[in-house]
Amino acid sequence: MPEAVPLLRTTRNRAADGSFIAMSAVDPLNLAGTLLPGEKVPALPGNRVLYRDGSPVGAVIAGKTRFLVELDAQSQESVRWHLVRRSFDRMSVSPLMTSR
């Protein structure tokens, strides 16, 4: 993806704003532990990696949350939330599907 290189370069030069990006570990842009320092997140279905300001901070590996950097309790909760949020975003419940 040659068009991704300029976009990644502009992202690298952006000021840190605390933004999160979660992705599947099978995504080719999963650089955790390969090009980026730190623990490798295996490229297996179901594994996810979370980046904050472009640096890997957390992952779901074999169904378990792992923190890739030292985090305080509040940041750990935020990482957990961002790692599972996408699953909840994809779920939709019809208002007609309520229990009686």
Inside any domain, residue 100: no
Inside any domain, residue 26: yes
pLDDT band (50, 70, 90) for residue 14: confident
Inside any domain, residue 7: no
Q: Is the pLDDT of residue 54 over 90?
A: no
Cβ-contact 11, 19 below 8 angstroms: no
Inside any domain, residue 75: yes
β-pairing, 48-52 vs 55-61, is antiparallel
Average pLDDT over the chain reads 79
pLDDT for position 11? 65
Domain count along the chain: 1
Residues 60-70: tens digit of each pLDDT: 999 999 999 99
When pLDDT is averaged across residues 36-50 and rounded to a whole number, the result is: 87
- Domain residues for the domain of 22 are 13-89
Inside any domain, residue 6: no
Inside any domain, residue 56: yes
When pLDDT is averaged across residues 34-50 and rounded to a whole number, the result is: 85
